[in-house]
Amino acid sequence: MHHVLPFYGRYQHKFLKAYMALAKLTRIPLIGRLVRWLANQYAANQHGGYLLTLEEAEGIIDASDNVALAPCSCRQVFGNCHRPILSEIVVGAGQEVYSGLNGHNFHQVSKDEAKEIVRQCHHQGMMHTIMHCQGLFYAICNCCTCCCVPFRLRRDYGIEYAIVRNKNIIADYQKQWLLAGSGGASAD
């Protein structure tokens, strides 16, 4: 198990609030550029997301050993609209992110159920991203532009690497899964 993932999972809501609070520093003259540069380095190398098409999201679900359903943390924390909260598809190393969280609304679903949830979210105008923490993919988040932290970091604060496109995302996900041999998680 990767030691950072359970820690992130336990404090995910606090991390999201901190990311948004710290992003405001990008607007301060003189230090804003440095903060933006540091945030971009962090997003590219530590924690960020890849924007997915509907087909890519379904392909990642198909390539996963196990899938589960959990609440979207961005939607839980910020709740700026009334779209569904139970919309995060846990894949890859996600089992580690959410392990040991008592009372967390997290349960296994079939691949068909997961793909149907992604399709429903897509029809409601929600976007799909696969999140990574230190290079390990852990969830397909289906979120809206008014709550999604990576999207808002990019749009509102110029943190370009918070959410990017990767045309080879399915191959990269499969490679991680094959290397780990357990659905995308890696051992330390």
Which pLDDT score is estimated for 1?
40
Indicate the pairing of strand 88-90 with strand 136-143. antiparallel
Mean pLDDT value across residues 17-39: 95
DSSP 52-105: E-HHHHHHHHHH-S-EEEE--HHHHHH--S-S-S--EEE-TTHHHHSTT-TT--
Q: Model-level pTM?
A: 0.83
What is the number of helices (H) and of strands (E) in the chain?
9, 7
Query: Predicted confidence band at 187 (pLDDT cuts at 50, 70, 90)?
Result: very low
pLDDT the model gives residue 115: 96
Check residue 94 and give its pLDDT: 73
d(CA 14, CA 105): 18
Three-state SS for 165?
Answer: strand
The tokens for 118 are: 């992604």
List the single range of 1-15, 53-67, 136-150 with lowest mean pLDDT.
1-15
Instruction: Write b or e for each residue in 111-145: b if 16 or more Cβ atoms lie within 10 A of its Cβ, otherwise e.
Output: eeebbebbeebbeeebbbbbbbbeebbbbbbbbbe
Cα distance between residue 57 and residue 128, in whole Å: 7
What is the token pair recorded at 177?
């899964």
Per-residue pLDDT at 178: 58
User: What pLDDT sits at residue 130?
Assistant: 92
Angle between helices 111-123 and 54-63 (to 10 degrees): 170
Residues in the chain: 188
Q: Give the pLDDT score at 103.
A: 47
* pLDDT tens-place string over residues 95-147: 766 665 544 667 889 999 999 999 999 999 999 999 988 778 889 999 999 99
